[in-house]
Amino acid sequence: MRLPERQLAVLEAASATDERTIDEIAAETGLKPETVVGAAFDLRDEGLLVVNEAADETLDLTDEGREYVDAGLPETRLYRAGLALDADAEPVSMGRVIGEADLNGPEVDIALSNFARKGFGGIDSGELSVDGDADPDADPEAAALAALAAGEAPDVDERVIDQLDSRGLVAVGESVTRSVTLTDAGVDALMTGVEATETVAQVTPELLASGEWRDVEFSEYNVEADAPTVSGGRKHVLRRTADRVKDVLVGMGFQEMEGPHADSDFWINDCLFMPQDHPARTHWDRFALDVPPMEEIPDELIRRVEAAHRDGWGIDGDGYHSPWSEEFAREIALRGHTTSLSMRYLSGIAGAELEPPQRYFSVEKVYRNDTLDPTHLLEFYQIEGWVMAEDLSVRDLMGTFEEFYRQFGITDIRFKPHYNPYTEPSFELFGEHPETGEEIEIGNSGVFREEVTGPLGVDCDVMAWGLALERLAMLTTGAEDIRDLHGTLADIEFLRNAEVSY
Ligand code: PHE
């Protein structure tokens, strides 16, 4: 029998009576463990070896766990500080004990909750007392951490390990140990004699030129061999979602809009019939920029927008009769929505085609002075869009959204009547989060009022919307917090593996 060299080496190192692990064979043959695994599987396929697999739990200290091995568990430090201040005799103010224990930041909460759990003492009205009989030296959690630090297997109850795992002090993993034994056929082969064939892993120009390739034996691919995971470069899940959104909208016949991130209040708000004293226009909500005002706005358009604000538009129109300042309209801020782009395009200054029917969109960043929380970022992406046609109704809007979201596998969009100063009727869109089951707001929409389209010179219906790209990504990836998608909290594994639905 002839076998490739490395298979022969593994066969010779294996035994019919003792299980030999891959590592033992690697050490004996001088082959790399992954090479041994590959050869072992090949020999198994030839019926010469049996490969056994045993899964073992692995335990490793986390960085935090390692820190406590050196510094002591926070609750133990709290206990010892309490003892030093005689809190076993009389309660001592918590602030003093915490100071004495030199606990900082999150360590304080960790110390307090575990201190109580372990019965080290009690906390009452801001004072801490310690139980003189408690014995932190006998604490199995500390003992397990110390054993792991010393490279030994901790001799403690499984519950202690679970506790350390949930505290994030140890990482529980799994490792597979493979071992091999010779089969009868393997023993026979060795007895009758096996010769090594030289195997070639790759065809080279030399092999081809010399014709030697005819005689050599090529090693086979082993798709079961362990191999290191290679994480290549990848587009961010949000960028991929944005690309997908663009594909879908282009497929639905839309053209893309572009325009400035920093724009005049005129395009961001005044064109939208947003009164100048609207709360969203105060300095609390917008990021105003300290730069010179915008000069290049068509005069005629300014006059018409001003007229809509002051006196209304159309026969039964009635404006706000509130102050309107051109100076304010020319001030620059970061756009709070991309509806500024829709205004620019609908006004004709961006060179859009305006003969109905028309469809335009953008997937662009907007900026709002919100409070950061699980569903709000200070900057995020809006999927803006509008359709211009004769006689549009809410049904057209609902149908457009249903068609759009269906492309992402979302078929349970819900609609809720809403109010915008610039659309009538208006409604908000909600989608159900796949993990939490919560209804989250994913967009806002409506049909532009005459006070908006009139001054722009548009005399047919325009339905429009602003959808949140991050929320769409939350629905498609199951991310529960917007900060899981970008920023420092985003989990690298999630970013590596998250898929965008197609
Ligand atoms: N500008 C709105 C928002 O940011 C979205 C919207 C656009 C609503 C166009 C109606 C029409 O929420």
Q: What is the pLDDT of residues 355-382, one digit of tens each?
A: 999 999 999 999 988 777 777 778 899 9
Is the pTM for the entire model greater than 0.85? Answer: no
With a 6 Å cutoff on the Cβ, whether 241 touches ligand 1 is no
Residue 231's pLDDT is 87
Q: Could you tell me the two tokens for 187?
A: 């023993």
With a 6 Å cutoff on the Cβ, whether 466 touches ligand 1 is yes
272 by DSSP, 3-state: which? helix
Cis preceding-peptide flag for 425 (omega within 30 of 0)? yes
Write 236-243 long-range contacts (CB < 8 A, 24+).
236/486, 236/495, 237/473, 237/477, 237/485, 237/494, 237/495, 237/498, 237/500, 238/381, 238/469, 238/470, 238/473, 238/485, 238/486, 240/500, 241/469, 241/472, 241/473, 241/476, 241/500, 242/363, 242/381, 242/469
Q: Which atom of ligand 1 is nearest to the CA of 466?
A: 5
With a 6 Å cutoff on the Cβ, whether 465 touches ligand 1 is yes
Separation of CA 465 and ligand 1 centre (Å): 5
Length of the chain: 502
**Worst-scoring range by mean pLDDT, 1-15, 247-261, 338-352?**
1-15
**Residues 151-209 pLDDT 10s:** 998 888 899 999 999 999 999 988 889 999 999 999 999 999 988 877 788 889 999 99
| 23 or 5, which is more confident | 23
Q: How far apart, in whole angstroms, are the C-alpha atoms of residue 417 and residue 403? A: 20
Q: Which atom of ligand 1 is nearest to the CA of 386?
A: 9
- CA-nearest residue for atom 12, ligand 1, is 444
Q: List the one residue out of 345, 322, 195 whose CA is nearest residue 260.
A: 345
Q: What is the mean pLDDT of residues 383-401?
A: 96
- CA-nearest residue for atom 9, ligand 1, is 465
- CA-nearest residue for atom 7, ligand 1, is 465
Separation of CA 291 and ligand 1 centre (Å): 26
Q: Residue 275 in contact with residue 312, Cβ under 8 Å?
A: no
Residue 317's pLDDT is 87
Paired strand residues for 351: none
Residue 143's pLDDT is 94
With a 6 Å cutoff on the Cβ, whether 338 touches ligand 1 is no
Q: Which atom of ligand 1 is nearest to the CA of 366?
A: 4
51 by DSSP, 3-state: which? strand
pLDDT at 349 over 80: yes
pLDDT at 324 over 80: yes
With a 6 Å cutoff on the Cβ, whether 443 touches ligand 1 is no
